[in-house]
Structure 1
Amino acid sequence: MDIAPITTARLLLHPLTVDEARRVVEGVPGPEDRWAEGYPGPGDVRGVGSFLGGVAERGDPGVYRPYEIRRRADGVTIGGIGFHGPPGEDGVVTVGYGLVPGARRQGYASEALRGLIARAREAGATAVRGDADLDNVPSHHVMEAAGMAYEGEDERVRNHRLVFAPPA
């Protein structure tokens, strides 16, 4: 399946193929991969591993897949972002993201999340949700900067959501 990348001002969100996802899980870049130090991180490996399991069980999820976050300036992969799977019956899709330490606090995560949210809206999702550990204040700020509102929390995580207005 050919999925178009998502382009933002400074980033290219590259949709992972199954072969690329396998390399991420194995932690072994191919000759065409340009990974920043620290990529893939444990969260990338877990998310991409779940994607591979979903493909094996249910087939290709189309746009609802993991994406590498690449800087447009040099093509280096500085993190990952993506959907935890296709939307549920209510149309809500869950997102996750992470950056290598050297790319944090530069607005990349919020920029990437805004691009992913636009993709979800275009693909017909009704809302996007995400969560972060209670002490992960930078991630709370990322979601808020991308337009997601605080929705509540439990003893472990703080939840955010952005509901798309129905078409007029």
Structure 2
Amino acid sequence: MRTWGGEQVEQAVADAVALLRTATDRDWDGVRAGRLEWSCRRTAEHIAGDLIAYAGQLAGRAQNAYVPFEITLDEGTGNTDVLDVIETTGALLAAAVRTTPREVRAFHPYPFRGANREGFAAMGVAEVLLHTHDIATGLHLAYEPPAELCEDVLTRLFPHVRPGSAPWPTLLWATGRGDLPGRPPVTEWRWSNPPAIPADRLTLEGVTPAAARDLSAGGDGGFTWAEGGPYEGTRDAAGMTVKAYEAGAHRPEWGMFVLVRREDGCAVGGMGFHGVPDEEGRAEVGYDLAVSARGHGYATEALRALSGWALARDDVRLLVATVDRVNLPSQRVVTRAGFAAVREGEEEIFYELRP
């Protein structure tokens, strides 16, 4: 999977600044930015503030809150100077993304209180694209960013949004800035970074639709895999995630997780749910490991962590797992994780775990 982050931040900033430099002689203070309550000038300053804030979160490895600082422009700063600040803060975010290890997560409130370097890059790009649109609308400038960049943002920050026929109108609709045929107007929205669930030796990292698409097509999904991985079950699960995303039915907390070993950052397997809990609060789990990672207790450890996380929620009352009768290692995994066999078929054994 291609590296995503610093280059895309730089591209978004360069395109935005190039457009806005054509209108620096206009009154940005007296014009509203699109549908926002802010002026065009206030919106431009907000872009710079977000870029430096995201860079600060990554550089400082903030874990529990935003680092308490903000950018303040000198008195008399003109429109051209504001664009210089946007270029500078964009460069700082790009540098922070490039120098932050892949496994590092820093605080962001929506919705799982953390994001990795790719998430902060995607949020920075989204801020630039959307608020440049707002400013351009207020100043009557034509603006449409590259479709690939918009699609990248959607597949990383809007996993719950069904893709549309074109990425840019879909992103505008998803953020309350436009209309799409057959879809109701959006009045409230938030993007979504993937969840991460800690275990003793592992971290269960949520898989974005972008990563799932790469995995299902034979790629690595952006992970460094242990020998023999990803195994076929992980690729199959990634394909299920892609189908759910394309249908608008994907919910990241009920999707797929990659099991990442903390000691070396290697991915050793995949685990997750077959979909959202049903009306009775029932959710089904599945998993597999890379061949070289088997026999070390990773699956049991991860399943305990995932089960504990799920059963602590109000919308889950029962977890189930289906294991082939001939798969004795997998039967031992679910049993050690606390599941009990409740029924046997000709080829499968059915297990349950309740709170």
TM-score by length of 1: 0.92
Please list every run of at least 4 consecutive aligned residues from structure 1 whose deviation after the TM superposition is greater than 3 angstroms. Answer: none
Equivalent residue runs for 1:135-150 within 5 Å: 135-150=326-341
The equivalent of 2:240 in structure 1 is: 50
Question: What's the CA shift for 1:29?
Answer: 2.5
- Residue aligned with 1:58, SS: coil
Aligned amino acid, residue 208 of structure 2: T
The equivalent of 1:130 in structure 2 is: 321
Please give the alpha-carbon distance, in whole angstroms, between the structure 2 residues aligned to 1:146 and 1:88.
22
The equivalent of 1:22 in structure 2 is: 213
Match 1:102 to one of 272, 292, 302: 292
Question: What's the CA shift for 1:59?
Answer: 3.4
Equivalent residue runs for 1:1-168 within 5 Å: 1-29=192-220, 32-123=222-313, 124-164=315-355
Please give the alpha-carbon distance, in whole angstroms, between the structure 2 residues aligned to 1:114 and 1:103.
17
Question: What's the CA shift for 1:52?
Answer: 1.2
Please give the alpha-carbon distance, in whole angstroms, between the structure 1 residues aligned to 2:244 and 2:317.
21
Quick check: which one's helix share is greater?
A: 2
- Residue aligned with 2:260, SS: strand
- Residue aligned with 2:220, SS: coil
- What's the Cα RMSD here? 1.3
Question: What's the CA shift for 1:5?
Answer: 0.5
Number of aligned positions between the proteins: 163
5+ residue gaps in structure 2?
Answer: 1-191
CA offset digits 1:29-79 (Å, max 9, x no partner): 36x521112222211111111111112113331310100011011110010
Aligned amino acid, residue 337 of structure 2: A
Please give the alpha-carbon distance, in whole angstroms, between the structure 2 residues aligned to 1:52 and 1:126.
26
- My pick for the range that moved more, 50-59 or 146-155, is 50-59
Task: Give the fraction of aligned pairs with identical amino acids, expressed as a percent.
Answer: 34
Aligned amino acid, residue 132 of structure 1: V
- Residue aligned with 1:151, SS: strand
Question: What's the CA shift for 1:157?
Answer: 0.6
Radius of gyration: which is bigger? 2
- Larger RCO, structures 1/2 (Cα 8 Å, 6+ apart): 1
Please give the alpha-carbon distance, in whole angstroms, between the structure 1 residues aligned to 2:341 and 2:220.
37
Contact 2:195 2:252 in 1 (8 A): no
- Residue aligned with 2:211, SS: helix
Please give the alpha-carbon distance, in whole angstroms, between the structure 1 residues aligned to 2:262 and 2:345.
37
Question: What's the CA shift for 1:27?
Answer: 1.6
Please give the alpha-carbon distance, in whole angstroms, between the structure 1 residues aligned to 2:232 and 2:226.
14
TM-score by length of 2: 0.45
